[in-house]
């Protein structure tokens, strides 16, 4: 299924990505961001905060935004 992933980390990008059925927010974060700490990011699905075990649906809009911008004090 396709979802829109908006990654605001670094240069940032928005793109439709294919994910498997029953993919959770946690799974997508681990696949796309990797070893980063979740607590350093604000993750929303369809503009709403969700739990990490939320299962993604076709057409969902996921945004991943760091809570601290690099270089800021």
Residue 22, domain member (yes or no): yes
Residue 73, domain member (yes or no): no
Residue 33, domain member (yes or no): yes
Q: How many CB atoms lie within 10 A of CB 51?
A: 10
C-alpha 53/C-alpha 68 separation (Å) is 24
Closest C-alpha among 64, 61, 60, 59 to residue 12: 64
Look at the block and give the residue holding tokens 């070893």. Answer: 35
pLDDT in tens, 53-67: 999 999 999 999 888
Per-residue pLDDT at 55: 97
Residue 13, domain member (yes or no): yes
Domain count, the chain: 1
pLDDT in tens, 2-52: 999 998 876 678 999 999 999 999 999 999 888 778 788 899 999 999 999
- Alpha-carbon distance values, 52 to 29, 69, 72 (Å): 9, 22, 27
Residues of the domain holding 6: 2-66
Per-residue pLDDT at 11: 67
- Model-level pTM? 0.81
Residue 71, domain member (yes or no): no
Look at the block and give the residue holding tokens 């991943």. Answer: 64
CATH classification at residue 11: 3.10.20.30
Per-residue pLDDT at 72: 54
């Amino acid at each position: 299924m396709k979802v829109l992933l908006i990654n605001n980390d670094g240069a940032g990008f928005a793109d439709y990505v294919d994910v498997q059925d029953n993919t959770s927010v946690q799974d997508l974060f681990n696949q796309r961001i990797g070893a980063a700490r979740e607590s350093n990011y604000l993750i929303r699905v369809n503009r709403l905060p969700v739990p990490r075990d939320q299962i993604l649906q076709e057409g969902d809009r996921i945004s991943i935004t760091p809570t601290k911008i690099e270089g800021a004090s």
